[in-house]
A and B are shown apart, each in its own frame.
Chain A
């Protein structure tokens, strides 16, 4: 039995008859980094807001650390750090005072402020009012606030928004360290697969409010495995020849397509076609990139 840090059952949110999130069954394992993917407006932020109790679900339930969120909200939230949508800040306060306002509520030790500022690389800017910060710096401050209470679960909604490439890399490394060093479970949402591809162990893909994929990143890689394409002189006869030998293929134009076949199978196909006097012009591997597969899953590109 795995230990689920987040488990939702039939989670739905309806706005004026339209489902923003419908029947979501998320399962997030302890110590995992969960990439929560979907295009803009798919319901990622709505889901995260429900996970944090900012909005009430229309249907379904949320369990965090095995406890029901609607009953144990405060004790759950004490163990969760979050960054929702754009970062929150008080413009008239310095970075230190922003964190101090949160620290007073959490009752965390004062030394923790210096620690988190150091982690996100804001130590030098700590005394400046936050209204003069760039979006990337506010984002870092948001991450620092999320870390302030030494949480066991981090919910980060598009945490690299507005960061420059080196900042993205830095934050990605930081997130990677979380489970290893502190045993923290992380949920990180993004509209880019490449964003979480290198960090996440599991991905959930949401499309128009529905979860359309939830599995390990390794399984996603497997699905993205390419197919073989053979271009031959007489594709129709070749297809018939192969069918006689019990090899399934699909004809597309002049090419024959074979899905998910190994090296030996390729060799056998080529050999038998040559023996039947077919001319083989090309043997190509058609590799689908993970990004293409993702776009296909979220329905922005029609499957070919």
Chain B
């Protein structure tokens, strides 16, 4: 375990000097702009609770449908990029580290930046609510469930993108794949039949499951979403570990 934390410490150093973590700010800031521009009063809503639901769902749909999956891809590609460019794989793997440990370290770094993004998103929601001057306090429980399960739903994508990024030395190719698989979300989330099984749609389904929307796949309970998430996560992570342990460096 100690050696795993040493790996994490090394990864943290490489990442922190690269300023890629600044990307974690982008989506929360855009969501904040959306949150400020949206005006639930126009819809004739009087109940603050309902206003909250509208505010959060409009902010979360952009964030979870597009930015979050794409950010997952960028981060995964990035933690591999500096290894590909400078021959870092070769050097890392001649150090006393296990390949699975290194893979998990990379994965943990991606997951932590995603967690940071989710927390910033939460802050953005609070800021937007404060701007509109809502009287009732934030529905913490549902909010945190949404934020947390949205984060969990990104982990399978991170596992898959890490696999693609490790195997291809190109920086752009994994990103193109990621965007290609993310864009269909716009259609897929409306489909009751496909959305429950499409990994890229899960962050959105997870984050909006509390919003009370009942069209398409949004009516599904959160448990269903998490089963898809867990299944794809196990599959992608196992594939990644298997590949990385056999990779010739």
Contact = CB atoms under 8 A, between A and B. Distances in A.
Contacts of A97: 13, 17
Contacts of B85: 91
A17 B128 CA distance: 64
Contact of B249 (A55, A91, A104, A106): A55
B96 A106 contact: yes
B93 interface: yes
Interface in A90-109: 90-93, 97, 100-102, 104-107
B87 A87 contact: yes
> Most chain-B Cβ atoms within 10 A of its Cβ — which of A74, A88, A91, A97?
A88
B86 A90 contact: yes
A101 B13 contact: yes
Interface stretch (A77-85, A110-118, A167-175, A244-252): A77-85
Contacts of A130: 86
Given A77-B94, A106-B95, A106-B96, A88 B88 contact: yes
Contacts of B96: 74-75, 77-78, 105-106
A91 B6 CA distance: 21
Interface residues of A, number: 33
Interface in A203-252: none
A54 B249 contact: yes
A91 B85 CA distance: 8
A49 B86 contact: no
A101 B94 contact: no
A90 B10 CA distance: 12
Contact of B10 (A80, A104, A145): A104
B109 to A, nearest CB: 13
Contacts of A145: 91
Contacts of B7: 104-105
Given A54-B93, A105-B95, A100 B87 contact: no
B105 to A, nearest CB: 10
A276 to B, nearest CB: 67
A90 B94 contact: no
A84 B87 CA distance: 9
Given A55-B249, A100-B13, 16 more contacts: A77-B94, A77-B96, A84-B94, A85-B87, A86-B87, A88-B91, A91-B86, A92-B17, A101-B14, A104-B7, A104-B9, A104-B10, A105-B7, A105-B97, A130-B86, A145-B91
A64 interface: no
Nearest to A149: B95
Interface of A: 49, 52-56, 74-75, 77-78, 80, 82, 84-93, 97, 100-102, 104-107, 130, 145, 149
17 contacts: A56-B248, A77-B95, A77-B96, A80-B94, A84-B94, A88-B88, A89-B87, A90-B82, A92-B18, A97-B13, A101-B10, A102-B91, A104-B7, A104-B9, A104-B13, A105-B3, A145-B91
Contacts of B10: 101-102, 104-105
A258 to B, nearest CB: 51
Interface string B141-178: 00000000000000000000000000000000000000
B90 interface: yes
Interface-central residue, A91, A105, A106, A149, by most chain B CB under 10 Å: A105
A49 B91 contact: no
Interface in B75-114: 82, 85-88, 90-98
Nearest to B19: A92
Contacts of B95: 77, 102, 105-106, 149
Interface in B212-230: none
A223 B162 CA distance: 54
A52 B88 CA distance: 15
Contacts of A106: 6, 95-96
A104 B11 CA distance: 9
B82 A91 contact: yes
B249 A88 contact: no
A54 B90 contact: yes
Contact of A55 (B87, B98, B248): B248
Contacts of B249: 49, 54-55
Contacts of A82: 94
Nearest to A48: B94
Contacts of A86: 87
A90 B93 CA distance: 15
Nearest to B98: A74
A99 to B, nearest CB: 11
A102 B94 CA distance: 11
Contacts of A102: 10, 91, 95
Contacts of A52: 93-94
Contacts of B18: 92
A87 to B, nearest CB: 7
